[in-house]
Amino acid sequence: MTDGGESLRPQEFMGEAEEILEALGSDLQAAEAEMRGGGVRIQRLNSLFRGMHSLKGLAGMFGRGDLSRLAHRLEDVLDRLRMGECTLDAGFLDLLFDAHERLEALVSGCAGEDAGLEELLGRLQAALGENKGEEAAAGVAGASDPQGPSPPVGLDAALLSSLTRFEEHRLRAALAAGVPVRLVALRLPMESFDGDLRSIIGSVGEAGEVISTLPCYQPDEAVDGLGFQLLVAATCSEEELLARVGRPARVETVRAVSDEPSLAPPAPGGGPVDPPQTSRADDDAGPAAGEAGGSASVRVDLERLDRIMNSVGELLLFRRSIADVARRLVDNPATQVLGRDLTRATRDLDKRLHELQRSVIGARMVPVSQMVGRLSRLVRKLSRRSGKEMVLESRGGQTELDKVMIDRLLNPLIHMVRNAVDHGLEDPHERRRAGKPARGRLLLTAAQRGNSVIITLSDDGRGIDAETVCRAGVKRGLLEPGTPASLELACDLIFEPGFSSSPAVDEVSGRGFGLDVARREIRALNGEVTLRTSPGVGTVLEIELPITLAIIQCMLVRAGDLDFAVPVAAIAETLRYRPERTESIATSPVVRLRGETLPLVDLRRFFRLQGGPDGPPGYVVVTRSGERPLALAVGDLMGQHEVVIKPVGRRLESIPGIAGATEVAENRAALVLDVTTLTAEVQRMSGAA
Amino acid sequence: MSQPTPRGHETDGLEILLEPGGESRPQDGMTQVLTFRLAGERYGIPIGCIVEILKYRQATPIPRSEPVVHGIVSLRGRIVTVLDARRRLELHAAEIGPATRIIVVRDADEPVGLLVDEVLQVMKLPADAVKPPPATIRAAAERGIAGVCDTRQDSILILLDMQGFLKV
């Protein structure tokens, strides 16, 4: 039925592959911007090459044949590009974007038949064939001679042989172009060398190119620290170079042609000795000492974090029972003193637990900007396909959200972007007529507001036309004929399942996947989405999400003999139940509160619960979902608790009013109320009655 | 023909019968099944899909759910839906007793608990001993009944097809 054998863990592959793809994607976009600005930086091509090399290795390790083949071919292509053996033009870049998309599909395992793959491999091969080293027209800044007999270089043979093929190529290119090349030797303290080196490379990189960073031993200096040699090609003066290094260093210039006959031939590997300090691979795909080394972070499996999170949740449960014991001790005069001590100790424990909880939550947080790359590549693609000019801008990308949320938010956002491009943004012609810039603008913003994160996606398109939408609503039977069209109604309608005002299903936003699915997914994350539109000016979709799914403050309430957790965020107030304040309007019970009339629902009756004491409810919990208030009659209030909310599984997740479950005591679960679906269900029921 | 194996040992309320990911495929034409009792009848499921067997613990009922859903329990931090296996087979609802167990099985990507009256034993069955369900069993396929087997001991053994059985 299920095979017991466990192969290499797929989530490890996914996590790492996605990270590499993300970096490749942003490098491609940066390359495109650089191309527009005059020329693609050689560092960019090198970083693309490195990323592709890692991906190839990863794919091979996990036995992903197709992925590995494509990555291998791309690695070849990128290698030739960075070696200046062929040139990168707009068409070639498009091809790389296509290939990137294909890689994404292969990684996520949703690539179709591999017919397309062969075609793509063929196109890459062809691009290499017809594009051979026209250096003059190079899009690459400072590309240089293809391989061939290279003149010797005034560099120590051991050092030269420790350069990678690419670094040597860059060295020769710089010398050939007459750019001064210098060898900078310096020492850095053991404890901070990686950070120091990174900042030096950054600062020197602004003035020129750091071709290589080589660690070396300098036994004559008895000082602590590590010696490094930086091979730098830069047109600036030696003084400026030293100023950029910002610490004592020895600089010597590397000459183009050797005048020392004693030098060994410069072919890589031909050097007489393998310098001990450079135990480097035969190619430079591994992180160079200075660049990627020393990033003080580790990748952690989400499942492990979940386990830690669960343990923290359990600790919080224990805290509760200890606090109970303390209370009982305090209540008894004989043990009062002991009880107070225990209460104090519990408070200290509390503080620590909350710190722990915050750190664990923090470890799950990632910046929203992780999604921006994917979305702007999508926009780029949609722009090409639809012939509409547009750009995606983003603000607040540093805002953090739970990793799980980011992952699950991507699909709804992709759909919303597609929707905006398809229905919102006009074509350039129409835009000019409306007095707008030809290029449409999508703006993605993220900001934290209290315990929520607000993400908005706005476009400066034509907005929603109430008439068109309502007409479509009538046609689909979602609206009674003759209902007056209003913007408010239109905004509700487009979230209805099965609603689409576009007459044809097209490749851009068709496939029967409506905004309703996007909204359902967002609601599954405890979030809510709202829409504002202004005809002719544009549309704003606003998503509000809790920062983390993992822990929420809840009020525990009892209905019948069951406990329910109501998210505090959804509670407006709680009051004692007073029969005199309730009445009924057309048989629907309501409660009046400061001039407002709220629908009243007895939770016990709503859930058709049998157990528990008879008699009137004890309390009323007033909740708000969006602007819609609801008064929930419950038996008793059990106090506020932090609960770890967990999914209830696919069989139960569609029951209205239930968001998930949580552990309230050992092995005992309580249901967490979903105020949004509860409110909707109550309205539906009273509408049906 | 059949070979009873000893019952699993019990550890603090948790009865571990099998190592996780234990042998599930038929060896030399033999299928291993776990047998249990439901309303006096004997049923069997392939052991490959079993995660663990729990002593009955109070489940939280789920309001407004299908009758087949007995409730949810929390299992080491995970919420597990427990189905009433009797209800699934359109028998009377389960009565909880000291022998009642929850068999946790793998279903797609989440574990699901099956409430059974009593867990019996693990048996090896030759593949050809399993016969298609007799026509007298109503709607066998819809209820997840894969076949029957006369083990020449006790009552006839009814084998369940987990995929079909869990399709609720």
Does residue A281 surpass a pLDDT of 70?
no
Q: Which two tokens stand for residue A65?
A: 């044949």
Phi, psi of A356 (to 5 degrees): -60, -45
pLDDT band at residue A224 using 50, 70 and 90 as cut-offs: low
pLDDT, tens only, A485-507: 888 888 888 887 767 655 444 43
Does residue A271 surpass a pLDDT of 70?
no
Nearest to A244 by CA among A201, A211, A209: A201
d(CA A414, CA A437): 24
Q: How far is A644 from chain B (nearest CA, A)?
A: 9
The secondary structure of A230-293 as a DSSP string is EEEEESS-HHHHHHHH-S-EEEEEEPSS---TTPPP--TT-SSS--TT----SSTTSPPTTTTT
d(CA A346, CA A340): 10
Facing residue for A4 by CB, picked from B24, B112, B168: B24
d(CA A303, CA A13): 14
* pLDDT attached to residue A10: 65
pLDDT band at residue A240 using 50, 70 and 90 as cut-offs: confident
Mean pLDDT (whole number) for A345-374: 83
3-state secondary structure A361-414: HHHCEEECHHHHHHHHHHHHHHHHHHCCCEEEEEECCCCEEEHHHHHHHHHHHH
| C-beta separation of A460 from A440 below 8 A | yes
Say what percent of chain A tops pLDDT 90. Answer: 9
Question: Are B75 and A667 in contact (CB < 8 Å)?
Answer: yes
Phi, psi of A444 (to 5 degrees): -110, 120
Does residue B14 surpass a pLDDT of 50?
no
| C-beta separation of B62 from A655 below 8 A | yes
d(CA B49, CA A228): 58
Q: How far is B48 from chain A (nearest CA, A)?
A: 6
Strand order through the sheet with B41-46: B118-126, B30-38, B41-46, B157-160, B145-149
Distances (CA, A) of B76 to A174, A307, A567, A662: 62, 10, 23, 12
Residues of B in contact with A650 (CB under 8 A): 108, 110
* pLDDT attached to residue A404: 78
Can you tell me the ipTM of this complex?
A: 0.76
| C-beta separation of A540 from A454 below 8 A | no
What residues contact residue A202 under an 8 Å CB cut-off, 6+ apart?
none
Mean pLDDT (whole number) for A574-595: 81
Mean pLDDT (whole number) for B83-96: 89
Smallest CA–CA distance from A664 into chain B, residue: B74
pLDDT band at residue B69 using 50, 70 and 90 as cut-offs: very high
Task: Say which residue the tokens 């007073």 belong to.
Answer: A578
Give the pTM: 0.46
pLDDT band at residue A76 using 50, 70 and 90 as cut-offs: confident
pLDDT, tens only, A153-201: 667 777 777 777 788 888 888 888 888 888 888 888 777 777 888 888 8
Residues of B in contact with A310 (CB under 8 A): 76-77
Our CA dihedral for A177, A179, A185, A191, rounded to 10 degrees, sits at: -90
| C-beta separation of A37 from A17 below 8 A | no
> Which one-letter amino acid corresponds to residue A1?
M
Nearest to A661 by CA among B75, B84, B101: B75
Say what percent of chain A tops pLDDT 70. Answer: 81
pLDDT band at residue A104 using 50, 70 and 90 as cut-offs: confident
pLDDT, tens only, A440-473: 999 999 988 766 789 999 999 988 888 888 888 8
Nearest to A599 by CA among A687, A492, A485: A687
Q: How far is A329 from chain B (nearest CA, A)?
A: 29
> Which one-letter amino acid corresponds to residue A213?
T
CA atoms within 13 A on the CB side of B111: 20
Residue A649 DSSP symbol: -
Residues on A contacting B at a C-beta cutoff of 8 Å: 1-6, 307, 310-311, 313-314, 562, 606-609, 646-652, 655-658, 660-661, 663, 667-671
d(CA B121, CA A170): 72
Average pLDDT value over all residues in chain A: 78
* pLDDT attached to residue A244: 87
